[in-house]
Chain A
Amino acid sequence: MRRRVVVTGMGLITPLGIGIEPFWQGLLQGRRVIGPITHFDASNLATRIAAEVKEFDPTQFMERKDARRAARFIQFAVAATRLALDDAHLTITPDNAEQIGVLIGSGIGGVDYMDSQMRVLIEQGPDRITPFLAPMMIADMASGIVSITFGAKGPNLCVVTACSTGADALGQAARLIQRGEAEVMIAGGSEAAIVPIGVAAFCAARAMSTRNDDPEHASRPFDAERDGFVMGEGAGVLILESLEHAQARGARIYAELLGYGMSADAYHITQPDPEGDGALRCMRNAIRDAGLQPTDIHYINAHGTSTRYNDAKETLAIKRLFGEYAYQLPVSSTKSVTGHLLGAAGAVEAAATILAIQHQTLPPTINYEYPDPECDLDYVPNEPRPARVRYAMTNSFGFGGHNTALVFGAFEE
């Protein structure tokens, strides 16, 4: 019998605000937070809209000097960790420090630093590059600085699987706990890529919505008029804990992480498998890992990026795996509200999935207006819905053909 892993704390920095409450209420209300890019002058880009985190003050979460030198994705990670530890009522002490690890991934890392320092390199020369560029641009530094800030001395690492990163971080962290290498893992994803080179890169890949004149309706997963994803930013950090450790300290348990499934498309660098093959296999693996049957799943928080390819192929994969049951299975994309948080998406959407279980309520897919014949499932359109949710799954797929699914369940002794 392997060790059980439960979720005892959540910290969220999202375009909906700081913390769990604005996130969950924002999802249910379908708050419109996508708007024109304000972080920089985006006037010469094809996509000029994003879901930015507004009113984030890193000095509320870390020392001013540390905040000033930290890349934005690191600031988000430290802030989300502080919120998650507080939420879990967990204090790191010399006695437990070695049992507590960190696995916070990022799809891209400190691209804000790279963007600004590349300009310095070209305009002023190599002697003017800040000594903080090297440590701040590397994606593992969120885990590094979180361990330094909070004193967590257990396993410390990073996974990078593009837009599956946040989900893989949670899955791999759960494995570390199952194997007994840690009692607690601070795990999730963080991303802050709304900088010129970050947005331009995804524009060039033709992956993003260009609905610049109507940003509030630009992220419209599964809708026939969808034209690409909208970039978001933020971080999701969960406190994963062995059941014994959580119970010994009387922790409140949100949910149990029951299943983790991975697969590769082995097909194309940006496009999904035409038959949804990789997506199907990661879902099947996660359900099997959880010891469940497909019909046990009551809700799927979809990857649902609002790109033509993803939403059609994800739908196909769900139909192939679940058969007739697919038409009774609610599937929603919270990216319709938050935009796509890239490497943080999997962790933030794990939180949405857990909250759906906790509140027995399904967050909607907003901006759903025109049915697409290729996308014919129940996407929980536009309004939240009370529902019985015992087991729920969340999907994440990344460039490179990484596919990841996590299954969470209501905690039962």
Chain B
Amino acid sequence: MDQELFERVRKVIVEQLDVREEEVTPDATFTDDLGADSLDLVELVMAFEQEFDVSISEEEAEQVRTVADAVRLLAEKLQAEV
């Protein structure tokens, strides 16, 4: 996993979900481990879009369950843009 990307993703998650940095591990799930509800997830995806200047579809967002999923998706998005 791209450590630099992970750190940026973690920063967004910490800010959006009001969780501690150490809680945001690659395996952590957004709903169970990080306490996000459905509205939090919508806002989190919007925050990713804004931070990384990418567009994430609803179908893509639905596949994201863990922090690692989010990092992987964003890595693909950023790769595709190069």
B46 with A128: CB separation less than 8 A: yes
Q: Within 8 Å of chain A (Cβ to Cβ): is B43?
A: yes
B17 with A65: CB separation less than 8 A: yes
Q: Which of A65, A128, A131 contacts B18 (CB 8 A)?
A: A65
Q: Within 8 Å of chain A (Cβ to Cβ): is B80?
A: no
Please, how many angstroms separate the alpha-carbon atoms of A131 and B37 in the complex?
11
Q: Which of B17, B35, B43, B50 contacts A131 (CB 8 A)?
A: B43
Q: How far is the CB of A149 from chain B (nearest CB, A)?
A: 15
Please, how many angstroms separate the alpha-carbon atoms of A63 and B18 in the complex?
10
B contacts with A, residue count (CB < 8 A): 9
B46 with A68: CB separation less than 8 A: no
B18 with A132: CB separation less than 8 A: no
- What residue of chain B has the Cβ atom nearest to residue A129's Cβ? B46
Q: Within 8 Å of chain A (Cβ to Cβ): is B42?
A: yes
- B1 partner residues in chain A, CB cutoff 8 A: none
- B42 partner residues in chain A, CB cutoff 8 A: 131
A132 with B17: CB separation less than 8 A: no
- B43 partner residues in chain A, CB cutoff 8 A: 130-132
Q: Within 8 Å of chain B (Cβ to Cβ): is A245?
A: no
Q: Within 8 Å of chain A (Cβ to Cβ): is B82?
A: no
Q: Within 8 Å of chain B (Cβ to Cβ): is A64?
A: yes
A68 with B18: CB separation less than 8 A: yes
Q: Mark each residue of chain A from 63 to 90: 1 if its CB lies under 8 Å from any CB of chain B, else 0.
A: 1110011000000000000000000000
Residues in A125-181 with C-beta less than 8 Å from chain B? 127-128, 130-132, 135
Please, how many angstroms separate the alpha-carbon atoms of A15 and B35 in the complex?
35
- What residue of chain A has the Cβ atom nearest to residue B42's Cβ? A131
Q: Which of B17, B38, B46 contacts A130 (CB 8 A)?
A: B46
Give B residues with C-beta under 8 Å from A. Answer: 17-18, 35, 38-39, 42-43, 46, 50
Beyond A68-B18, A128-B46, 16 additional contacts (C-beta under 8 Å) are A63-B18, A64-B18, A65-B17, A65-B18, A65-B35, A69-B39, A127-B46, A128-B50, A130-B43, A130-B46, A131-B39, A131-B42, A131-B43, A132-B39, A132-B43, A135-B39
Give A residues with C-beta under 8 Å from B. Answer: 63-65, 68-69, 127-128, 130-132, 135
10 tightest A-B contacts by CB?
A65-B18, A131-B42, A131-B39, A64-B18, A131-B43, A130-B43, A132-B39, A128-B46, A68-B18, A65-B17
* Contacts A/B (CB < 8 Å), 19 sampled: A63-B18, A64-B18, A65-B17, A65-B18, A65-B35, A68-B18, A69-B39, A127-B46, A128-B46, A128-B50, A130-B43, A130-B46, A131-B38, A131-B39, A131-B42, A131-B43, A132-B39, A132-B43, A135-B39
